[in-house]
Amino acid sequence: MTPRDSFLDRMLSHDRPRSRVLALLLVVVLVGLLVAPVAFPGAKAMGVAAKMLVFIVLVASYDLLLGYTGIVSFAHTMFFGIGAYGVAIASTRMGEGFAAVFAGTGAALVVSLVLSLLIGSFSLRVRAIFFAMITLAVAAAFQTLASQLSDLTGGEDGITFHNPELLSPSWEPFDHPVLGVTIDGRLVTYYVLFVAALALFLALLRIVNSPFGRVLQAIRENDFRVEAIGLRTVAYRTLANVLAAAFATLAGALLALWLRYTGPQTTLGFEVMLDILLVVVIGGMGTMYGAVVGSVLFLLAQNYLQDLLGAAHDALAAHVPLLAPFVSADRWLLWLGVLFVLSVYHFPTGVVGRLRAWRAGTPDATST
């Protein structure tokens, strides 16, 4: 094994894509997100790329629960919101600065730790469906609480705050663009998100490929056998819940830094939880790489499908008017649902699972 191969294996925790097509897709995504501010300088494109970075971490952290441990939780957006609100509240109370960002993130991590421990300790002893219902109730209660505590959370209007000067859009160290690129706080914030998302994703990859991660997968397959060999499944499930909550909290903090705003619908809404579930299914459960592929595909469709349908509608209106109403931009949610159904039908184990199955020469692949 060459030193380069050895370094790559260590960085990926010896969990290579195991498919040339998947490896190519991951390289394209990595390079695309790296050069997005330069190649796609528009505000919308840059915002979509930043949301992809946040969603990769958020979905990968949820897959640690659902795909690797077999835990269905609807409270993941609660921890996502705690991270965002932690940064927002600290920045408004302490003033703009990195001290406020770190203090808010730290406080949010502590709150998430306590809540995830309580939820795990009292709820993971019951059957899966009851745990899912408990987390749904807790998440709904937390969203209602965030909407009503106006003095602290801004209520339904949310909180708008200022980033540290280095991350502020108004910060421009140079009077003219450098190599055609305007260097400002927005660009710096994007690359802070890029480095943080990459580091957090590699950390999650290390966790699921560690002995601890193998135990989680064993619990997912047969928790009675794991209990029989003397391991406490409740303790492992609780720890998985705590880790997933911590990573979701950090993802929320990153989103708050990018938006400079947070509100109940931005991070705590049930629509966000549905988006997470859709991305996990599209990418493939039990595969960290599925979070990358699924997040990119889903957010591209969510943000650009309406534009594509509008262009198709205009083209058909000029040549085939009878078909034009079926591809109206107003029906983009319908077509998004159709695409999701088709993806589930043709990729029952997700895009990553199917690509690995093709590579292995098997009809289908179960995630490992």
pLDDT (tens digit per residue) in 114-126: 999 988 877 766 6
Q: Quick check: 59 pLDDT over 90? A: yes
- Residue 151 burial (C-beta neighbours within 10 Å; 0-12, 13-18, 19+): exposed
Q: Among positive and negative, which fits the CA dihedral 155, 156, 157, 163? A: positive
User: How large is the average pLDDT for residues 60-65?
Assistant: 95
Q: What is the pTM of this model?
A: 0.91
Give the model's confidence band at 2: pLDDT under 50 very low, under 70 low, under 90 confident, else very high. low
The arithmetic mean of pLDDT across residues 321-331, rounded, is 78
**pLDDT grade, residue 53 (50/70/90)?**
very high
Domains in the chain, CATH or no CATH each: 15-360 (1.10.3470)
For the CA atoms of 177, 181, 186, 192, the dihedral, rounded to the nearest 10 degrees, stands at -120
Query: Which band of pLDDT confidence, cut at 50, 70 and 90, is reported for residue 50?
Result: very high
Q: Which has more pLDDT, 130 or 1?
A: 130
- Kindly tell me if the per-residue pLDDT of 366 is higher than 50: no
Q: How confident is the model at residue 127, as a pLDDT?
A: 65
What tokens were used for 172?
A: 């421009």
Helix axes 98-123, 76-94, angle to 10 degrees: 150
DSSP secondary structure letter of residue 157: G
At 253-306, the pLDDT tens digits run: 999 999 999 999 899 988 999 999 999 999 999 899 999 999 999 999 888 888
Residue 41: what pLDDT? 77
Give me the phi and psi of 9, to 5 degrees please: -65, -40
Six-digit token string for 108: 């949010």
Q: How far is residue 262's CA from residue 259's CA, in Å, rounded to a whole number? A: 7
Tokens of 159: 């909180």
Say if residue 318 is exposed, middle or buried (CB neighbours under 10 Å; 0-12, 13-18, 19+): exposed
The whole-angstrom separation of Cα 293 and Cα 162 is 32
